[in-house]
Structure 1
Amino acid sequence: MPIAAPLMETLAERRHLALTGGGADKLEARHAKGLLGARERLVALFDPHTFMEWGMHADHDCHGFGLDDKSFPGDGVVTGVGYVNGRPAAAFSQDFTICGGSLGRIHSKKISDLMDYAMKAGMPIIGINDSGGARIQEGDDSLSGYGQVFFRNVQASGLVPQVSVIAGPCAGGAAYSPALTDFVIMTKQNANMFICGPDVIKAATGQSVTMDEIGSATAHASISGNIHFTTENDTQALELTRKLLSFLPSNNIADAPHKLTPALDLAPDPQLNEIIPADPKAPFDVLKVIARLVDGGDFLEVQKDWAKNLVVGFGRIQGVVCGIVANQPLVKAGTLDIDSSDKGARFIRTCNVYSIPIVTLVDIPGFMPGLAQERGGIIRHGAKMLFAYAAATAPKLTVILRKAYGGAYLAMCSADMGADMVYAWPTAEIAVMGAEGAVKILFKRDIAGATDPKAKEAELVAMYREKFSSPFEAARKGFITDVIEPAQTRATLAMALRNTLSKRETRPPKKHGNIPL
Structure 2
Amino acid sequence: MAIDPKLIDDLNSRRKKVILSGGQEKIDKRHEKGEMTARDRMGYLFEEGTFSEIGMHVRHNCHNFGMGKKEIPGDGVVSGFGLVDGRPVACAASDFLAQGGSLGYMHAMKIADAQKYALKAGIPMVTVNDSGGARLQEGVAALSGYAQVFYNNVLASGVVPQISMILGPCAGGAAYSPALTDFIIMRNSGNAGMYITGPKVIEQVTYEKCTMDDIGSAAIHATVSGNVHFVADSDAHAMDILKRLLSFLPSNNTEEPPHKLNTPLDLSADEGMSDLIPGDNRTPLDVQPIISRLVDNGDFLEVHKDFAKNVVVGFGRICGVVVGIIANQPNVKAGCLDIDSSDKAARFIRFCNAFNIPLVNLVDVPGFLPGKNQERGGIIRHGAKLIFAYSQATVPKVTLIMRKAYGGAYIAMCCKDLGADAVFAWPGAEIAVMGAEGAVPVLYGRELKAVEDPAEKAKRQGELLEEYREAFYNPYVAAGMGQITEVINPEETRAKIAFALRTLLNKKEVRPAKKHGNIPL
Task: Give the TM-score category using the shorter length.
Answer: over 0.9
Per-residue CA deviations over 1:176-233 (Å, capped at 9, x if unaligned) read 0000000000000120000000000000000110000000000000000011010111
The 1:279/1:238 distance shift into structure 2, 3 A limit, reads same
Counterparts of 2:376 and 2:263, CA distance in 1: 53
Counterparts of 1:29 and 1:13, CA distance in 2: 23
2:13 corresponds to: 13
Counterparts of 1:115 and 1:32, CA distance in 2: 32
Identify the match of residue 486 of structure 1 among 482, 487, 490: 490
Per-residue CA deviations over 1:306-336 (Å, capped at 9, x if unaligned) read 1111111111111110000011111111111
Q: Does the 8 Å CA contact 1:44/1:239 hold for their aligned counterparts? A: no
Give the deviation of 1:355 after TM superposition: 1.1
1:505 corresponds to: 509
Using the TM superposition, name which of 153-162 and 113-122 deviates more: 113-122
Per-residue CA deviations over 1:372-392 (Å, capped at 9, x if unaligned) read 111111101111001010011
Give the deviation of 1:452 after TM superposition: 5.1
Counterparts of 1:467 and 1:174, CA distance in 2: 57
Using the TM superposition, name which of 451-460 and 54-63 deviates more: 451-460
Per-residue CA deviations over 1:6-63 (Å, capped at 9, x if unaligned) read 2121111001111111111111111122210101101111122211111111121212
Q: Does the 8 Å CA contact 1:92/1:128 hold for their aligned counterparts? A: yes
- Map 1:170-189 to 2 at 5 A: 170-189=170-189
1:218 corresponds to: 219
Q: Does the 8 Å CA contact 1:96/1:131 hold for their aligned counterparts? A: yes
- Map 1:189-204 to 2 at 5 A: 189-190=189-190, 191-204=192-205
1:246 corresponds to: 247
Give the deviation of 1:456 after TM superposition: 4.1
Matched, 1:131 2:131: yes
- What letter is aligned with 2:366? P
Matched, 1:280 2:281: yes
- What letter is aligned with 1:329? P
SS of residue matched to 2:18: helix
Using the TM superposition, name which of 463-472 and 84-93 deviates more: 463-472
Matched, 1:346 2:350: no
SS of residue matched to 1:513: coil
Using the TM superposition, name which of 196-205 and 75-84 deviates more: 75-84
- What letter is aligned with 1:494? A
Counterparts of 2:344 and 2:65, CA distance in 1: 45
- What letter is aligned with 1:502? N
- Map 1:77-476 to 2 at 5 A: 77-190=77-190, 191-444=192-445, 449=451, 453-476=457-480
Give the deviation of 1:457 after TM superposition: 3.7
Counterparts of 2:268 and 2:25, CA distance in 1: 60
Using the TM superposition, name which of 41-50 and 209-218 deviates more: 41-50
Using the TM superposition, name which of 15-24 and 455-464 deviates more: 455-464
SS of residue matched to 2:362: strand
Counterparts of 2:249 and 2:5, CA distance in 1: 47
Give the deviation of 1:437 after TM superposition: 2.3
Q: Does the 8 Å CA contact 1:161/1:251 hold for their aligned counterparts? A: yes
Counterparts of 1:291 and 1:8, CA distance in 2: 56
Give the deviation of 1:453 after TM superposition: 4.7
Give the deviation of 1:259 after TM superposition: 1.0
The 1:283/1:407 distance shift into structure 2, 3 A limit, reads same
SS of residue matched to 1:65: helix
Counterparts of 2:510 and 2:102, CA distance in 1: 45
SS of residue matched to 1:271: coil
Per-residue CA deviations over 1:277-324 (Å, capped at 9, x if unaligned) read 112211121111111111111111111111111111111111110000
**Unaligned ranges ≥5, structure 1:** none
Give the deviation of 1:455 after TM superposition: 4.8
- What letter is aligned with 1:122? G
- What letter is aligned with 1:475? A
- What letter is aligned with 2:497? L
Per-residue CA deviations over 1:72-129 (Å, capped at 9, x if unaligned) read 1111111111111211110111100000001111111111111111101100000011
Q: Does the 8 Å CA contact 2:264/2:319 hold for their aligned counterparts? A: no
Counterparts of 1:254 and 1:10, CA distance in 2: 43
SS of residue matched to 1:359: strand
Matched, 1:34 2:50: no
Q: Does the 8 Å CA contact 2:22/2:98 hold for their aligned counterparts? A: yes
Using the TM superposition, name which of 40-49 and 75-84 deviates more: 40-49
- What letter is aligned with 2:243? R
Per-residue CA deviations over 1:478-506 (Å, capped at 9, x if unaligned) read 00000001111011111011011101212
Q: Does the 8 Å CA contact 2:263/2:320 hold for their aligned counterparts? A: no
Q: Does the 8 Å CA contact 1:424/1:483 hold for their aligned counterparts? A: yes
Counterparts of 1:302 and 1:477, CA distance in 2: 35
SS of residue matched to 1:329: coil
Give the deviation of 1:139 after TM superposition: 1.1
- What letter is aligned with 1:144? S
Counterparts of 1:367 and 1:297, CA distance in 2: 30
- What letter is aligned with 2:49? H
Counterparts of 2:167 and 2:120, CA distance in 1: 27
The 1:261/1:447 distance shift into structure 2, 3 A limit, reads farther
2:68 corresponds to: 68
SS of residue matched to 1:379: helix
- What letter is aligned with 2:503? N
Counterparts of 2:52 and 2:8, CA distance in 1: 20
Counterparts of 2:504 and 2:461, CA distance in 1: 44
SS of residue matched to 2:189: coil
Give the deviation of 1:261 after TM superposition: 3.0
Counterparts of 1:47 and 1:401, CA distance in 2: 43
Q: Provide the TM-score with structure 2 as the length reference.
A: 0.97
Give the deviation of 1:447 after TM superposition: 5.5
SS of residue matched to 1:67: helix
The 1:262/1:211 distance shift into structure 2, 3 A limit, reads closer
Give the deviation of 1:343 after TM superposition: 0.6
How many pairs does the alignment contain? 517
SS of residue matched to 2:209: coil
Counterparts of 1:433 and 1:262, CA distance in 2: 41
SS of residue matched to 2:154: helix
SS of residue matched to 2:68: coil
Counterparts of 1:280 and 1:106, CA distance in 2: 60
- What letter is aligned with 1:414? C
**Unaligned ranges ≥5, structure 2:** none
- What letter is aligned with 2:469? R
Q: Does the 8 Å CA contact 1:128/1:167 hold for their aligned counterparts? A: yes
Q: Does the 8 Å CA contact 2:161/2:251 hold for their aligned counterparts? A: yes
SS of residue matched to 1:145: helix
Using the TM superposition, name which of 371-380 and 501-510 deviates more: 501-510
